[in-house]
Amino acid sequence: MGLPQCPCQEPPNRDIRQLSTQSNAVPRRTLPSTMELLDAVTLFLALCLSCLMLLSMWWQMQGRSKMPPGPMPLPLVGNLLHVGTKNVFKALMKLSKKYGPIYTIQLGTRRVVVLCGYRAVKEALLDQGEEFGGRGKQATFDWLFKGYGVAFSNGERARQLRRFSITTLRNFGMGKRSIEERILDEAQYLLGALHDTKGLPFDPTYILSRSVSNVISSVLFGDRFDYEDKEFLSLLYMVLETFRFTSTSWGQLYDMFPGIMNYLPGPQHKSFKLLERLEKYMEKKVKANEETLDPNSPRDFIDCFLIKMHQEKQSPSSEFFLENIVMTALSVFFGGTETVSTTLRYSFLILLKYPEIEEKIHQEIDQVIGRNRSPSIEDRSCMPYTDAVIHECQRFYNILPLGVSRQTTKDTQFCGYNIPQGTEVFALLGSVLKDPEHFERPEAFDPGHFLDDKGQFKKNEAFMPFSIGKRLCCGETLAHMELFLFVTSILQHFRFESPIDRQDLDISAKLVGFANLPRDYKICLIPR
């Protein structure tokens, strides 16, 4: 007697052809076409992007409660499309026409409050200087300084280093007769180098940088460099190339997305190598000074820092240690070299373009100084036109149009807005220097902006190329002295000629980023 067959089992003798026939009777599933797959992927990406957009909008609504208005940022890239990288200052000024003098943008992951015009900048940096006294970000320099040194530090560190730097620079003659003598001595070396050009065309970039840098070098290092010193020329190259990078489109892109671009190929890595070499050079100078230090007879700025460092060695709150001495010395060297030399390059270019301005300066020099003695800083009060031209060069070209970014030190009420602690702030110095409420023809080069009806020099409260308030440039007084003494010394002995038609001279900036840099040009200096 056989076992009953389980109804769930296939009969063992079932015909395979019958199975095949039944199988063919079931409809087959067809694979999706390529177009259907693309449509699905597109829909998925669109949904993801929409979610990110909604998230960004929600973040803006939450994070900007009572903050200044501004364009809505896109996910990841922020307001890159609004700002671009070619001329950030121009783009920010354009946005101010829509959103007003105080507005908010996002650069990559950084939320930034932008201040335009004299009123907004003055109220923030001067009237509320304590709240806006923090240092913001500048990715290229942050890569090296990392919060050390007088220029890029914050809090108690910044206060200690700034107080020391100002006091020490004054002790070495800043604003006094002794620093004037250093400048005039250097002017003699410069005049000799200019005579050696024999009236032939030359690029003034490095010859001016060498002279200006030697003034601050004599304070920092206790001595000047020979103009042909290869190490000195290498230092100037590194400083100039770093400034150039920060003003390029690539430099602006790096400033917005440093976290990503650190891992991508590009010219930023060349800048990093240059900055490393500058750091190593400064470390070498500090070490050499330490080995020969006499605490009773400081020779230069570095010696004074080393003495302070030894005095406060046991103080846990002291900011006088190796990293800060190296980065402070680098900050002073950078600031004392590039900004003044760039202004002089622009001044030469303006005088090439407008010979009638040069002629008026020549007349004033001949009347006040003559040909037989060196200029002095006391002559400035008797030379209003020359002084006005120098001020107008600084105003018209605004070497640092964005300023050096600030940061709020605490939650701040400002012009009816709430700005959280740690918010980055761009106080656009270029917008102040071209504020139509303070300069009648802001887009034109006009020395009359600094002359009254009687032709005497007049101050303008909106003239702030070195910023204002608690972060005012430590070297402002030195810069004013250098500009006046170098310009008058050169024009006392030379007149300018252009190797090309003056009408073809382009006086607009070549690069406008962190710094505003002139185009390359050549000039002929003809002895008077």
**Could you give the maximum distance between any two Cα atoms of the chain, in Å?**
140
pLDDT at residue 2, as a whole number: 43
The residue count for the chain: 528
CA atoms within 13 A on the CB side of 459: 3
Concatenated DSSP letters for 162-192? HHHHHHHHHHTTTTSHHHHHHHHHHHHHHHH
- Separation between Cα atoms, residue 129 and residue 414, nearest integer Å: 12
Residue 442 banded pLDDT, cuts 50, 70, 90: very high
The residue-averaged pLDDT of 427-451 equals: 98
Residue 174 banded pLDDT, cuts 50, 70, 90: confident
Average pLDDT, the chain: 91
Q: Where are the beta strands (DSSP E) in 219-272?
A: none
Residue 29 banded pLDDT, cuts 50, 70, 90: very low
List, for residues 445-490, the tens digit of each pLDDT value. 999 999 999 999 999 999 999 999 999 999 999 999 999 999 999 9
Residue 357 banded pLDDT, cuts 50, 70, 90: very high
Return the structure tokens found at 429. Answer: 């110095």
Contact 272, 246 (CB under 8 A): no
List, for residues 336-351, the tens digit of each pLDDT value. 999 999 999 999 999 9
List, for residues 49-101, the tens digit of each pLDDT value. 656 655 555 555 545 568 999 999 999 899 999 999 999 999 999 999 999 99
The residue-averaged pLDDT of 371-399 equals: 97
pTM (two decimals): 0.87
Is residue 511 helix, strand or coil? strand
- Separation between Cα atoms, residue 425 and residue 133, nearest integer Å: 10
List, for residues 214-262, the tens digit of each pLDDT value. 999 999 999 999 999 999 999 999 999 999 999 999 999 999 999 999 9
The candidate with the shortest Cα–Cα distance to 92, out of 400, 102, 421, is 102
pLDDT at 435 over 80: yes
Residue 518 belongs to what H/E stretch?
strand 516-518
pLDDT at residue 146, as a whole number: 96
The candidate with the shortest Cα–Cα distance to 215, out of 224, 207, 203, 228, is 224
- The interaxial angle of helices 205-220 and 230-246, nearest 10 deg, is 110
Annotated binding site for heme: 473
- Separation between Cα atoms, residue 332 and residue 323, nearest integer Å: 14
- Separation between Cα atoms, residue 100 and residue 70, nearest integer Å: 9
- Separation between Cα atoms, residue 497 and residue 522, nearest integer Å: 9
Return the structure tokens found at 123. Answer: 């109220």
DSSP-derived letter for residue 74 is B
- Separation between Cα atoms, residue 17 and residue 35, nearest integer Å: 38
Structural domains of the chain ordered from first start: 95-427+434-527 (1.10.630.10)
- Classify residue 183 by burial, with Cβ atoms within 10 Å: 0-12, 13-18, 19+: buried
List, for residues 210-219, the tens digit of each pLDDT value. 999 999 999 9
Residue type present at position 482: E
The residue-averaged pLDDT of 144-152 equals: 97
Annotated binding site: 473
The dihedral region occupied by 212, where left means phi > 0, alpha psi between -120 and 50, and beta the remainder, is: alpha
List, for residues 186-201, the tens digit of each pLDDT value. 999 999 999 999 999 9
- Separation between Cα atoms, residue 258 and residue 514, nearest integer Å: 15
Residue 8 banded pLDDT, cuts 50, 70, 90: very low
Three-class DSSP labels, 130-144: CCCCEECCCHHHHHH
